[in-house]
Amino acid sequence: MSKDEITIRDFCRRTGQLVELDPGHFLLLPPPYDKLDIQPKFTRLSEENRKKLESDLDGVSALKFPRPQNEDEKRVLVEKFLSGLKKLFDRQENWTFMQPLFLTMEFCAKCQTCAAACPIYNESGRLDIYRPTFRSDILRRLYKKYVKTGGQFFAKLSGNDIDASWTMIARLMELSYRCTVCRRCAQSCPIGVDNGLVTRELRKIFSQEMGITVEPLHAKGSVNQLRTGSSTGMSRTPFLDNVEFLEEEVEERTGMKFKWPMDKAGADILLIHNAGEFLAWPENPEAFAIILEAAGISYTLSSDLCAYDGVNYGVWYDDVQFAKVALQHAEVARRLGVKKIVIGECGHAHKALTVIADRVFTGEHNIPRESSMTLLHEIIKSGRLKLDASRNDDMTTTLHDPCNLVRLMGVVEPQREVLRAVSNRFREMEPHGVNNYCCGGGSGFAITKDLNFPDFRNQISSRTKLRQILDVFQDIIEPEHKKYVCAPCSNCKGAMRDMFAAYGLFERCNILYGGLVELVVNAMVDIDKPFIEWEWH
């Protein structure tokens, strides 16, 4: 069934599961993963979950949405969906994205140039349902029929008529979580149509109107963050304890004893990390602290609500949640009276605060925001750190470009300059820079870990990144060579952690992933012991 052609008509009308995902149909990987038997298996949902949860798209459930029990429930859901659909095209309800969405709805020439750019579509073995325009064409038809004047009549005339049934909406709901919003498709579109935006706007109907979102983004994500201070659930006291522990660890690893500046009013910079770093990759905030201390930068961390967690998941599914979190970040910066906010190694936090929030902040909240990549570059250029790149000579490095930081924000060179300064054996993946491929964890995928969604992520959405990593190191793929994928983004690291584990990349090929600052500290001549511990954790 998996290679069958699926039309929009099938999508709307066919009953049962549309597509069965089969690793045998996915694109072949480079060695040593060119044999199916060493690739991970694709877990099927249990029979019970299939019966219970909406999974008729491809047998994967990101949303864990229970199947409605009767026709009445279905009818209510369809009505809500249509009400949300109309709001997407209302200038007040959706001022945030109405114009770009309208342009995308009106001007697609259906040339399918975008299809070749999409890693998910290609890696899946070109399954129709993942083609970038598949999702958009459905929304376009619904928009033309249910939102535009005279739509019902013209829909019949044009041969594009589809009905908003629950079967279709349930599939569309899951389909809006099969795209990482990497916007590679939009970049290749000759007209400037944006299928990634369609994904995001669809998610908004489900979240803002129907209250349906993947749990890690909303209930455990932005709601948790606004309630406890961090999407990790870490409130102020455990955060402060954590920092204290990291201070001790820094002393142990480097011999440097210093307090991390905390809640310091009047500092030049408020540095905001992704809070996941403190828990999963503490060496990253440690390395930042070491560099900023050694360079004598005036900065502070904050233990205030949201300000020690740069994540803003709203950027992927909900404008209101986005604005709430962004304003919290700005509010703390305002209270501290800092000159600017600097965002740590987290791609989506970068885009959220610098680009997206730029049209949310006004007056005193409009405090300048800057990337840590540029700050690091400036520090390195200034010569304030004594560095010896040969200290990283035992490993070959490559750089992953986080979509949010690079394609969607244009921060391309600073991190490269830094990496070149600390690694003699740096090589670029192809393609790279603004033409990069997503890690596969974008738009919330990295933190969506329930049921069999990680199989989709590891085997389909992260597959191109895996391919690029294997390709760039192909001549030294044997485990005797140490290889390091520098990924200056918590989210990308999250996706890589899972993908590396699923394929056994560390054990089989001796490839490790990590941030940029760790490499910098590893090259600092004043620190005796290597900072990077070459082990999988």
Query: What are the DSSP calls for 361-392, one per residue?
Result: --GGG---EEEHHHHHHHHHHHT-S-B-GGGG
Decide if residue 172 touches ligand SF4 (CB under 6 A).
no
Contact 352, 312 (CB under 8 A): yes
Cα(41)–Cα(28) distance, integer angstroms = 14
Decide if residue 408 touches ligand SF4 (CB under 6 A).
no
Decide if residue 439 touches ligand SF4 (CB under 6 A).
no
CA dist list (Å): 537 to 155, 448, 506: 55, 20, 10
Decide if residue 235 touches other proteins (CB under 8 A).
yes
**For the purposes of burial, counting CB atoms within 10 Å of the CB of 332, is it exposed (0-12), middle (13-18) or buried (19 or more)?**
buried
Residue 423: its H or E element = none
**Residue 120 binds which entry of other proteins, ligand SF4, none, CB below 5-8 Å type-dependent:** ligand SF4
Q: Compose the 236-255 pattern: x for residues touching other proteins by CB under 8 A, - for all others.
A: xx------------------
**Residue 492 binds which entry of other proteins, ligand SF4, none, CB below 5-8 Å type-dependent:** none
Where would I find the H helices in 383-475?
413-422, 453-456, 463-472
192-231 burial code (b ≥16 CB/10 A, e <16): ebbbbbbbbbbbbbbbbbbebbbbbbbebbbbbbbebbbb
Of residues 133 through 162, those in contact with ligand SF4 by CB under 6 A are 133
Of residues 443 through 482, those in contact with other proteins by CB under 8 A are none
Cα(320)–Cα(186) distance, integer angstroms = 24
Shortest distance (Å) from residue 56 CB to ligand SF4? 21
In the complex with ligand SF4, which residue's Cβ is closer, 133 or 328? 133
Among 117, 269, 306, 517, interactor with ligand SF4 by CB under 6 A: 117
Decide if residue 173 touches other proteins (CB under 8 A).
no
Decide if residue 80 touches other proteins (CB under 8 A).
yes
Contact 27, 12 (CB under 8 A): no
Shortest distance (Å) from residue 187 CB to other proteins? 6
Interface segment toward ligand SF4; rule CB under 6 A; list 35-43, 77-85, 188-196, 411-419: 188-196
Decide if residue 298 touches other proteins (CB under 8 A).
no
Decide if residue 111 touches ligand SF4 (CB under 6 A).
yes
**Residue 236 binds which entry of ligand SF4, other proteins, none, CB below 5-8 Å type-dependent:** other proteins
Cα(214)–Cα(240) distance, integer angstroms = 29
Decide if residue 434 touches other proteins (CB under 8 A).
yes
Tell me the residue type at 258: F
Of residues 237 through 296, those in contact with ligand SF4 by CB under 6 A are none
**Residue 508 binds which entry of ligand SF4, other proteins, none, CB below 5-8 Å type-dependent:** none
Of the candidates 383, 436, 400, which has an alpha carbon nearest to the alpha carbon of residue 184? 436
Cα(386)–Cα(74) distance, integer angstroms = 65
Contact 372, 271 (CB under 8 A): yes
Shortest distance (Å) from residue 115 CB to other proteins? 5
**Residue 361 binds which entry of ligand SF4, other proteins, none, CB below 5-8 Å type-dependent:** other proteins
**Phi/psi at 93 (nearest 5 deg)?**
-65, -30
- Other beta carbons within 10 Å of 90: 11
Among 46, 51, 112, 266, interactor with other proteins by CB under 8 A: 112
Query: What are the DSSP calls for 251-309, one per residue?
Result: HHHH----PPPBS-TT-SEEEE--THHHHH-THHHHHHHHHHHHHT--EEB--STTTT-
Among 180, 213, 254, 397, interactor with ligand SF4 by CB under 6 A: 180
Interface segment toward ligand SF4; rule CB under 6 A; list 112-120, 150-158, 233-241, 314-322: 112-120
Cα(294)–Cα(275) distance, integer angstroms = 23
How many residues contact ligand SF4, by CB under 6 A? 25
Cα(300)–Cα(268) distance, integer angstroms = 8
Interface segment toward other proteins; rule CB under 8 A; list 27-35, 67-75, 110-118, 256-264: 110-118
- Other beta carbons within 10 Å of 414: 21
Of residues 351 through 390, those in contact with other proteins by CB under 8 A are 354-356, 358-363, 366, 368, 370-371, 373-375, 377-378
**Residue 182 binds which entry of other proteins, ligand SF4, none, CB below 5-8 Å type-dependent:** ligand SF4
In the complex with ligand SF4, which residue's Cβ is closer, 118 or 356? 118
Shortest distance (Å) from residue 238 CB to other proteins? 10
Among 195, 452, 458, 462, interactor with ligand SF4 by CB under 6 A: 195
Decide if residue 112 touches ligand SF4 (CB under 6 A).
yes
Decide if residue 114 touches ligand SF4 (CB under 6 A).
yes
**Residue 179 binds which entry of ligand SF4, other proteins, none, CB below 5-8 Å type-dependent:** ligand SF4
Residue 482 forms beta bridges with which residues? Answer: 395
Cα(283)–Cα(273) distance, integer angstroms = 12
Decide if residue 345 touches other proteins (CB under 8 A).
no
Residues in contact with ligand SF4 by the rule CB under 6 A? 108-114, 117-118, 120, 132-133, 179-185, 189, 191, 193, 195-196, 199
